[in-house]
Chains A and B, each alone.
Chain A
Amino acid sequence: MLSIHQLSKSFAKKQILDGIELQCKPGEVNGIVGENGAGKTTLFRCIAGLESYTGKVKYQTNNIKNTIGFLETNPEFLSKITGKEYLQLISNARKIKSVDFAAQNIFELPLQQYAETYSTGMKKKLALTSVLLQSNDIFILDEPFNGVDIQSNLIIKELLKKLKEKGKIVLLSSHIFSTLQDTCDHLHYLKAGKIQKTVEKKNFEIIENLMKDAALEEKIKNFNIK
Chain B
Amino acid sequence: MKFYFILQYKRIYRHIDEFGVIPFIGFAILIVIFIGISKTIFSNLPSANYFYILIGLSLSVKLGTVQRTVFLKKCFPKQTFWKVRMLENTFFILPFSIFLIYKQLYLEAIAIHVLAIGTSFLNNIGIQSKTIPTPFGKKPFEFIIGFRNSFWVFILAYALTYISIAVGNYNLGVFGLIVVFVTCMSHYSKPEPLYYIWIHSLTPKAFLYDKIKTAIIFTGLLVLPIIIALSIYFPLLELQFTLLFTVIGFCFIMLTILGKYHNYPSNIPLFQTFAMLVSLVFPPLLFLFIPIFYKKSIKNLNSILTC
- Please list the residues of chain A having a beta carbon within 8 angstroms of any beta carbon in chain B: 48-50, 52, 63-66, 70, 72, 75-76, 78-82, 85-86, 88-90, 92-95, 112-114, 117
Q: Do B144 and A81 touch (CB < 8 A)?
A: yes
Q: Give the complex CA separation of A76 and B197 in angstroms.
A: 13
Which residues does chain A contribute within 8 Å of B307, judged by CB atoms?
49, 63-65
Task: Offer 20 A-B interface pairs, CB within 8 angstroms, sorted by A.
Answer: A49-B307, A50-B198, A63-B306, A64-B307, A65-B305, A66-B201, A72-B195, A76-B193, A78-B141, A78-B145, A81-B144, A82-B131, A85-B140, A85-B144, A88-B140, A93-B200, A94-B199, A94-B201, A95-B201, A114-B131
Q: Do B306 and A80 touch (CB < 8 A)?
A: no
Q: How large is the interface on B (under 10, 10 to 19, 20 to 34, 35 or more residues)?
A: 20 to 34
Q: Give the complex CA separation of A75 and B196 in angstroms.
A: 11
| Smallest CB separation, B63 vs chain A (Å) | 17
Which residues does chain B contribute within 8 Å of A63, judged by CB atoms?
306-307
The residue in B140, B194, B304 that gathers the most chain A C-beta atoms within 10 A of its C-beta is: B140
Q: Do A49 and B198 touch (CB < 8 A)?
A: yes
Q: Is B171 an interface residue (CB 8 A)?
A: no
With both beta carbons as reference points, the residue of chain B lying nearest to A112 in the complex is identified as B131
Given A80-B148, A113-B131, A89 contacting B140 (CB threshold 8 A) = yes
Q: Do A79 and B145 touch (CB < 8 A)?
A: yes
- Please list the residues of chain B having a beta carbon within 8 angstroms of any beta carbon in chain A: 126-129, 131-132, 137-141, 144-145, 148-149, 192-196, 198-202, 303-307
Given A92-B139, A114-B131, A80 contacting B144 (CB threshold 8 A) = yes
4 closest A-B pairs by CB: A49-B307, A85-B140, A80-B148, A93-B199
With both beta carbons as reference points, the residue of chain B lying nearest to A45 in the complex is identified as B194
| Smallest CB separation, A129 vs chain B (Å) | 14
Q: Do B139 and A78 touch (CB < 8 A)?
A: no
Q: Do B196 and A78 touch (CB < 8 A)?
A: yes
The residue in A50, A66, A93 that gathers the most chain B C-beta atoms within 10 A of its C-beta is: A93
Q: Do A80 and B145 touch (CB < 8 A)?
A: yes
| Smallest CB separation, A61 vs chain B (Å) | 11
With both beta carbons as reference points, the residue of chain A lying nearest to B127 in the complex is identified as A117
Q: Do B201 and A80 touch (CB < 8 A)?
A: no
Which residues does chain B contribute within 8 Å of A78, judged by CB atoms?
141, 145, 192, 196
Q: Give the complex CA separation of A186 and B307 in angstroms.
A: 26
Q: Give the complex CA separation of A66 and B199 in angstroms.
A: 8
With both beta carbons as reference points, the residue of chain A lying nearest to B145 in the complex is identified as A80
Q: Do A86 and B140 touch (CB < 8 A)?
A: yes
Q: Give the complex CA separation of A79 and B127 in angstroms.
A: 11
Q: Give the complex CA separation of A89 and B306 in angstroms.
A: 20
Q: Do A50 and B194 touch (CB < 8 A)?
A: yes
| Smallest CB separation, B148 vs chain A (Å) | 4
Which residues does chain B contribute within 8 Å of A88, judged by CB atoms?
137-138, 140
